[in-house]
A and B are shown apart, each in its own frame.
Chain A
Amino acid sequence: EIVLTQSPGTLSLSPGERATLSCRASQIVGSSYLAWYQQKPGQAPRLLIYGASSRATDIPDRFSGSGSGTDFTLSISRLEPEDFAVYFCQQYGNSPLTFGGGTKVEIK
Chain B
Amino acid sequence: DVQLVESGGDLVQPGGSLRLSCEASGFSFSNYAMTWVRQAPGKGLEWVSTISDSGGRTFYADSVEGRFTISRDNSKNTLFLQMNSLRAEDTAIYYCAKGEWELPTYFDYWGQGTLVTVSS
Tell me the minimal C-beta distance from B48 to chain A in angstroms.
10
Contact yes or no, A99 B105, CB < 8 A: no
Complexed CA–CA distance, A97 and B102 (Å): 11
Total number of B residues with any Cβ neighbor in A under 8 Å? 19
User: Is B73 interfacial (CB 8 A cutoff)?
Assistant: no
Contact yes or no, B104 A95, CB < 8 A: yes
Contact yes or no, A96 B44, CB < 8 A: no
Contact yes or no, B45 A44, CB < 8 A: no
Q: Which residues of B contact A102 (CB under 8 A)?
A: 44
Tell me the minimal C-beta distance from A45 to chain B in angstroms.
5
Interface segment, one of A16-24, A71-79, A86-94: A86-94
Of residues 34 through 70 on chain A, the ones whose CB sits less than 8 Å from some CB of chain B are 35, 37, 43-47, 50, 56-57
Complexed CA–CA distance, A37 and B110 (Å): 11
User: Is A15 interfacial (CB 8 A cutoff)?
Assistant: no
Tell me the minimal C-beta distance from A2 to chain B in angstroms.
10
Contact yes or no, B111 A44, CB < 8 A: yes
Q: Which residues of A contact B103 (CB under 8 A)?
A: 95, 97
Contact yes or no, A94 B47, CB < 8 A: no
Query: Can you list 23 A-B pairs with a CB-CB distance of less than 8 A?
Result: A33-B104, A33-B106, A35-B107, A44-B110, A44-B113, A45-B45, A45-B107, A47-B108, A47-B109, A50-B100, A56-B108, A90-B45, A90-B107, A91-B104, A92-B105, A92-B106, A97-B103, A97-B105, A99-B44, A99-B45, A99-B47, A101-B44, A102-B44
The 5 closest A-B pairs by CB, nearest first: A92-B104, A44-B110, A35-B106, A97-B104, A99-B45
